[in-house]
Structure 1
Amino acid sequence: MDPIVAGLLATLVGAIVGGAVSFLLNRQLHAQQLERLRTEHKTEFAAEDTARHFLGHRGYTDRSFDVLRKHLGGFEDDELRRILVRAGAVRTYRDDGSEWWRLLSRMDEYIEHKARRADAAAID
């Protein structure tokens, strides 16, 4: 084999092996960092899951902020609102000024329910 071709082949193999090792090490480092962040923010992730659970209950599309605060204790009001937004919820206010939250993914369900109530009221 020609020495130039052998040198190029050795260089190419070295670059591939070096790149593969670097890729694997970076992937492992990324996984460790992600796990560390999950552990550090475990409380917030659990709170988001709990908020989704309460807001996803099939019997209620909306939950009052007071009920959510009661069940998701240990958070300041503004911090709890940020958790609700991260969980995919939107805030609304009732006529009495009370604060209510619903999952954005359930907005169609809320609109259908409201339309059925309006139709029922029109029939009466």
Structure 2
Amino acid sequence: MIETLIPAISALAGTALGGIMSYLFQKRQFAHETEKLKLANKTEFMAEETVKHFLSHKSFTDRSFEVIKKHLGGFDDDELRKILVRAGAIRDFREDGSEWWRLLSRMDEFISNKIEKKAKSS
């Protein structure tokens, strides 16, 4: 009985060890590939982070496209709009036709500020 159990346990242990090692290698390779992609596209990743920083400012929920464009040079208008969308921003046009952007995550804050301003003006 033991003579048949030892090879079975050895095979099971070898398979488990091989599976664990394969998982660890794959996890490391995935992290390495992700890092390579980030480095290859570093400009876009940093531009998204910068946009999030500007649109997360505690005093301003909105930023004009012109202000964002001024601070993020090197992108044409369409590229910059794509970066804004990837960062989670939405566009709004004011009555004067100017283009403004805000993070979708700050929409509740924008609405509550708008309600407060209406209440003060009434």
TM-score normalised per structure 2? 0.92
Aligned equivalents of 1:13, 1:29: Cα separation in 2? 24
Query: Take 1:71 and 1:102, find their aligned partners in 2: how far apart are those partners?
Result: 16
Letter matched to residue 6 of structure 1: I
Separation (CA, whole Å) in 2 of partners of 1:101 and 1:9 = 62
Partner of 1:94: 94
Structure 2: state its 5+ residue gaps: none
Shift of 1:92: 0.5
Q: Which runs of 4+ in 1 moved over 6 A?
A: none
What residue is the counterpart of 2:5 in the other structure? 5
Offset of residue 83 of structure 1: 1.0
Provide the TM-score with structure 1 as the length reference.
Answer: 0.91
Distance 1:108 1:16 in 2: 50
Whole-Å separation in 1 of the counterparts to 2:113 and 2:88: 20
Opposite residue 2 of structure 1, the aligned amino acid is: I
Alignment RMSD: 1.3
- SS of 2:57's equivalent in the other structure is coil
**How many aligned positions are there?**
122
Q: Write the distance in 2 (CA, Å) between the matches of 1:117 and 1:16.
A: 64
> Identity of aligned pairs, percent?
52
CA deviation string 1:23-82 (max 9, x = no partner) = 111111111111111111211111111111111112211111111111111112111111
In 1: Cα distance, 2:95 partner to 2:43 partner: 33
1:62 aligned residue: 62
